[in-house]
Amino acid sequence: MGLIDSHCHLDGKDFDADREAVIARAREAGVDWMVAIGTGDGPPDLEAGIRLAETYACMYATVGVCPQDAGKATAQTWIDMPPLTAHPKVIGVGEIGLDYYYNNDPREVQQAVFVRQMEIARAARLPIFIHTRDAWADTFRLIREHWSGSGCPGGIFHCFSGGPAEAEKALALGFHLSYSGMITFPRAEKLREAARHTPLDRLLVETDAPYLAPVPLRGKRNEPAYVVTTARQVAAIKGVSLEELAAATTTNWKRLCLQTVAKAR
């Protein structure tokens, strides 16, 4: 089938006991590629995704400091990160952004870390993988101020959680929207409406494993094989077959990530 899980966290302890089996199940389910998000437990370790991508041929990686770890970033972080963006299997900077739900760190700290990473991504000409929660206005503002414009390599709103209005703004800024298992949740009608309004050539799917397993697997540990369930729901919303949805999202991912990175290098 050829699906891409565009965002998963397989580096954590949740997968220590059976990581090999999890990856094997994904491959058997028709998941050709997985993107190992490299935020890990936060700085000083920036190579969580790279380690997986070096171990498994079916994985690519990102590097980044997620907003929940913004306070861990130091001057050394900004020395260490740029060289990692040149790794042959690194296809983006992320997940980065703002999280005002948990508010682990002051908003001004989160914003400074977000902006610094957009600067690193722009210099490397890599896409960015956005995490935003309860912070739409500031996220859009900072993207407009520090990312959008001529030559910008684009990016992904990972685990997109907004409605049609937020989708329209993100799309206008040139981003792809990646839908997770949340789109199967009973109360997620606004999210499903956003997917209806998202052009097929700007769609991606993901698991965000081990989080947000789709219905009817909700409550279980999520894993990349379950992206098939999410893709099936998105296909139904868009009125296309699962095979068509898989082909479209794979083409989108390759164009955004692999072709963009190839041009940058």
Residue 19 is predicted with a pLDDT of: 97
CATH number for the domain including 15?
3.20.20.140
Which pLDDT value is given to residue 150? 67
Per-residue confidence band for 70, with pLDDT thresholds at 50, 70 and 90: very high
Are residues 31 and 59 in contact, defined by beta-carbon separation less than 8 angstroms? no
pLDDT tens digit string along 94-108? 999 999 999 889 999
State residue 151's pLDDT score.
Answer: 75
Average pLDDT over residues 124-133: 97
* Interval 173-212: pLDDT, tens: 999 999 999 999 999 999 999 999 999 999 999 999 999 9
pLDDT at residue 101 in the model? 94
pLDDT band, residue 261 (cuts 50/70/90): confident
- What pLDDT does 173 receive? 95
Phi and psi at residue 177, to the nearest 5° = -115, 125
Per-residue burial over 216-250, b if 16 or more Cβ lie within 10 Å, else e, is eeeeeebbbbbbbbbbbbbbebbeeebeebbbbbb
What integer best gives the mean pLDDT of the chain?
Answer: 96
pLDDT in tens, 154-182: 999 999 999 999 999 999 999 999 999 99
User: What's the predicted TM-score (pTM) here?
Assistant: 0.96
Print the domain residue range for 15: 3-264
pLDDT for 89 equals 96
Per-residue pLDDT of 1-46, as tens digits, reads 799 999 999 999 999 999 999 999 999 999 999 999 999 999 999 9
Share of the chain above pLDDT 70, in %: 98
- Mind giving me the DSSP string for the chain? --EEEEEE--SSGGGTTTHHHHHHHHHHHTEEEEEE-TTTT-TT---HHHHHHHH-TTEEEEE---GGGGGG--HHHHHHHHHHTTSTTEEEEEEEEEETTT--S-HHHHHHHHHHHHHHHHHHT--EEEEEES-HHHHHHHHHHHT-STT---EEETT----HHHHHHHHHTTEEEEE-GGGGSTT-HHHHHHHHHS-GGGEEE---TTS-PPTTSTTSPP-GGGHHHHHHHHHHHHTS-HHHHHHHHHHHHIIIIIIHHHHH-
> What is the structure's pLDDT at 245?
98
Distance of CA 12 to the CA centre of its chain: 16
Distances (CA, A) of 261 to 1, 33, 156, 243: 24, 16, 14, 26
Comparing CA positions, the residue from 42, 44, 48 lying closest to residue 65 is: 42
Work out the pLDDT band at 264, boundaries 50, 70, 90. low
pLDDT at 258: 86
The predicted structure's pLDDT at residue 119? 96
Percent residues over pLDDT 90 in the chain = 93
Give the pLDDT of residue 71: 97
Give the chain's domain count.
1
State the amino acid at position 176 in one-letter form.
H
Tell me, what's the pLDDT at 12? 93
pLDDT, tens digit, 9 for 90 and up, residues 240-251: 999 999 999 999
Cβ proximity of 94 and 129 under 8 Å? yes
